[in-house]
Structure 1
């Protein structure tokens, strides 16, 4: 079975020529990059905001300590940005604009790291159909050259066979480009949703004024107290 598969692949590459071989290399590279991005998105918990949402709820109803505990172990971009926003918001001498700048830098760094590889996937999605078309043009040129050399002894099967092989490169290019384009769109959508989550959650933290955030609820008539500042994990 492996020998038959190898023969099939070899025959396919021989028919398509160097253009198909190049498209196969691009497809392997794109697949490896997609798998790496999937692992990265899973490891960094992109799109998983359950902990951040619990922390946000705890921030408004229980105080900074409970919110910080809820964010422990959350390595998502939204969770990291929210933890930094809450920590800075408990410091009364930190202006709101400075908090927004610091959180923005954290979010930008994380999102930029997640975007690595997107341009390569976009380039493959755009170049693959063009390479396929280029291979088709080269194949058609070769087919008509052979037709001219045949003179009066024209064999229709010769022309048909040349056109079939030429169109093979276009089909291969489209087969590479379409799934890569769809996966790239999915990645970009997930990243945009993460950006919106960061803006929404940190905006909610900062929307009620710096001085009143992070306070523990009063007990037995005692005045509210600000929870001590600590670093969220």
Structure 2
């Protein structure tokens, strides 16, 4: 591997940095976007069961907010209903929407960076190709070409192009995968908020 890096020249170092950052972000997103940390399967049913008779206590709401991203969204509506028993439907819906936006921002964390790496890696590889071509043309002296410089230029051109694609292809696949997961979670957050909203409105006075 070290010999390949040496043969690829200096343009490969930005690509190596991109590969390390992309791998770290993929691992982080796999950890953060687990179902247990975003939307546990039975959490909504448990919250609806508790709120079927009365609004939960502040301690229960705080524990709910610490449970998951979905718990944070549901807890925001419960806090609003507790703080203002006569809250209007539009205002309560706005509370859920603002909490949902914060949740979406949290779910989409680092995805733009991952998408940027997927886009930039082939361009960095192309930069290495151009540098390699410059090395090749530079080896063409009037008295004959320099085989060493010619081989070095070919190595820079080919290795950087290949390495850029090796980074970009899986990074783009993971980016699309995580984007799809986020969209599924957003839909689930919206549906859960609507169900809890309808139940909380029963405790408000007209």
* Shorter-chain TM band: 0.7 to 0.9
TM-score by length of 2: 0.78
Task: Report the structure number with the largest CA radius of gyration.
Answer: 1
Q: Which residue of 1 aligns with 2:121?
A: 128
Q: Distance in 1 between matches of 2:69 and 2:148?
A: 60
Q: 2:70, 2:189 within 8 Å by CA — same for their partners in 1?
A: yes
Q: Which residue of 1 aligns with 2:133?
A: 140
1:159-198 correspondence to structure 2 within 5 Å:
162-198=153-189
Aligned match for 2:101, one of 108, 111, 116: 108
TM-score by length of 1: 0.70
Can you list the C-alpha shifts for 1:88-144, whole angstroms capped at 9, x where unaligned? 457541001111122222222232233232222222111110010011011012112
Aligned match for 1:63, one of 53, 65, 90: 53
Q: Which residue of 1 aligns with 2:194?
A: 203
Q: 2:38, 2:185 within 8 Å by CA — same for their partners in 1?
A: yes
Can you list the C-alpha shifts for 1:161-190, whole angstroms capped at 9, x where unaligned? 743541210110111112122222222222
CA-atom RMSD in angstroms: 3.5
In the alignment of these two chains, the number of paired residues is 202
Q: Please list every run of 5 or more consecutive structure 2 residues that lacks an aligned counterpart in the other structure.
A: none
Q: Which residue of 1 aligns with 2:24?
A: 32
